[in-house]
Structures are given as C-alpha cells and as structure tokens.
Amino acid sequence: MCARHVYANLRKHWRAVIFRKVFWKSTKFTNEVLFKKHMKEMQDLDAKTWEFLEKKNPRYFCRLYFSTHAKCDSVDNNMAEIFNGSIVEPRYLPIVSMLKEIFKTIIKRVAQRRSWVAKLEGSICPRIMVKLDKYKDMARY
C-alpha cells in the first residue's frame, strides 16, 4: 500500500486540511508513542476518518511498521510510479520487444543508482544524514 493512495481515498470523503496534516505526520513517525498520539488526534477530529485508516491497516503504509532493514524512508510508491512512467511507450510494442525495452530501462536505472551509491561515503544516505545533522544541532539546546 502507498500512503499517497490511502490519503487520496481518505480525501474523497474528508477534505479538511487538518486531516492531511495529521495523516502525513502520523505516517512518517518511527516512534510508536508519537504515532499513536497523532492517530488519537485523528480519532478526536473524526471517528469515521480514524475507522477508515484502521481498516486500511497502518502496518502497510506507516514508517513505524517498516522493516528496520529498509534503506529507504519513502512512505509512498514513487519508484513504481516512475517505473510505470518510463514504460509508457514500450507498452504498445509486441510482447518480446516490450520486455526487451523494459529490461533495458531497468538495467539503465540499476547502473545509474549503482554509480551514484559508489560515490557515497558512509553507510547513511545523504537525505537522512541532513536530518540527523539537524537533530544533532537541535539536541545542543
């Protein structure tokens, strides 16, 4: 499940901006206490909204429940969307040609990511390192 799609379904019924803010905060927490606090806030705002999210099972779209071995902090499926966007033209080719084009697309992406990762220093990705540095600076106070 993708948090973005869950939110899109949520938005069909509850359009208030406050739902958006609380929803995205709750999906990105890795701390169970804060997650439950925001889910309680959602329940206090509207019980039906909270029931909707409970039915969707937050285990599938909230960062709190992601595997600790995951190397990506994404709560949506942008990678799948990017992939689908990259195979728009090959979809209309005969099956074998389509599969060859998809294979080439995947190989190019893997090669690009591999060369990008080879240039990185350390075991933490840059975006997470920026967050850690920010929190480290805040911890001084």
Tens of each residue's pLDDT in the chain, 141 residues: 678 888 888 888 777 777 788 888 888 888 888 888 888 888 888 888 888 888 888 887 888 877 766 555 555 566 777 778 878 888 889 999 999 998 998 899 889 988 988 888 877 888 888 889 999 998 987
Cβ count within 10 A of residue 89: 9
HSE-up of residue 87 (Cα within 13 Å, Cβ side): 20
The span from the CA of 23 to the CA of 25, in Å, is 6
Nearest C-alpha neighbor of 43 from the set 76, 5, 14, 9: 14
- What long-range pairs does 42-45 form, CB within 8 A, spacing at least 24? 45/16, 45/18, 45/19
Classify each residue of 58-84 as buried b or exposed e, where b means 16 or more C-beta atoms within 10 Å of its C-beta.
Answer: beebbbbebeeeeeeeebbbeeeeeee
Alpha helices in the chain (DSSP H): 3-13, 17-28, 32-45, 47-56, 78-86, 95-119, 126-139
pLDDT of residue 109: 84
Specify whether the CB–CB gap between 62 and 30 falls below 8 A: no
C-alpha to C-alpha distance for 25 and 95, rounded to whole angstroms: 43
